[in-house]
Amino acid sequence: MIISIGCDHIVTEIKNHLIDYLESKGHKVIDNGTYDKIRTHYPIYGKKTADKVASGEADLGITICGTGVGISTSANKVDGVRAALVGDVETARYAKENLNANIVAFGGRILGIGLIENIIDVFLGTEYKSTKENEKIIQKINSLNGHVGQVNDDDYFDEFLKKWDCGEYHD
Ligand code: RB5
């Protein structure tokens, strides 16, 4: 499978570990960053990771930040993405089987690495069940998005970053 992965600066080492883990299992990984521990902004990496999934460049995605909340919420803003923030294998199985979740998200400061690996195994290994009910609910969820034209727009955060540099934002 082709897996798109992204994180913020809090959990870069976990992302790097997961890349090795996925590659050792024969997957191809698209690493969207961030690549170091320099303070950055999780919406950027949530979007980059989600864009690859939404465009079909990747089959599935993985996003990680401290709690998983910020980056999964950001990824979920991208059209066609259903990112599930999970902390146990059963929730991951449900998300894939019923909602055809295409991104699994983690709080790297919340979960142990062994559990994250187990959840990834289950998420990648679970098949979506294409029932009438599941299709209908997914259609409804998808219809809530509406940011046409944002996918693969690499300049999307330019204005935000300029403001950040000018000290307009704080985390
Ligand atoms: C750091 O920016 C921290 O807020 C982030 O990693 C995450 O925990 C947010 O959900």
Residues 65, 38, 86, CA angle at the centre, nearest 5°?
5
Give the pLDDT score at 150.
66
Give the pLDDT score at 171.
55
Angstrom distance (rounded) from CA 51 to CA 83 = 12
Give the pLDDT score at 152.
76
Give the pLDDT score at 142.
85
Give the pLDDT score at 170.
60
Give the pLDDT score at 148.
58
Give the pLDDT score at 164.
82
- Residue 170 domain-assigned (yes or no): no
- Residue 92 domain-assigned (yes or no): yes
- Residue 145 domain-assigned (yes or no): yes
Closest atom of ligand 1 to 65 CA is 6
Q: pTM value?
A: 0.89
Q: What is the CA radius of gyration of the chain?
A: 16
Give the pLDDT score at 12.
98
pLDDT in tens, 63-113: 999 999 999 999 999 999 999 999 999 999 999 999 999 999 999 999 999
- Residue 23 domain-assigned (yes or no): yes
For a mutational test of ligand 1's pocket, the pick from 34, 42, 72, i.e. the residue with the most ligand atoms closer than 8 A to its C-beta, is 42
CATH number of the domain where residue 135 is located:
3.40.1400.10
Residue nearest to atom 10 of ligand 1 (CA): 70
Centroid of ligand 1 to alpha carbon of 170 (angstroms): 12
Pocket of ligand 1 (CB under 6 A): 8, 10, 42, 65-67, 69-70, 171
**Domain total of the chain:** 1
- Residue 35 domain-assigned (yes or no): yes
- Domain that includes residue 140, residue range: 2-165
- Residue 78 domain-assigned (yes or no): yes
- For the purposes of burial, counting CB atoms within 10 Å of the CB of 51, is it exposed (0-12), middle (13-18) or buried (19 or more)? buried
Structural contact between residues 67 and 10, judged by C-beta atoms closer than 8 angstroms: no
- In the block, tokens 């259609």 appear at 139
Centroid of ligand 1 to alpha carbon of 21 (angstroms): 23
- Residue 171 domain-assigned (yes or no): no
Report which residue type is found at 82.
Answer: R
- Residue 126 domain-assigned (yes or no): yes
Of residues 148, 165, 135, the one with CA closest to residue 77: 148
Give the pLDDT score at 146.
61
Q: Which residues of the chain have pLDDT under 50?
A: none
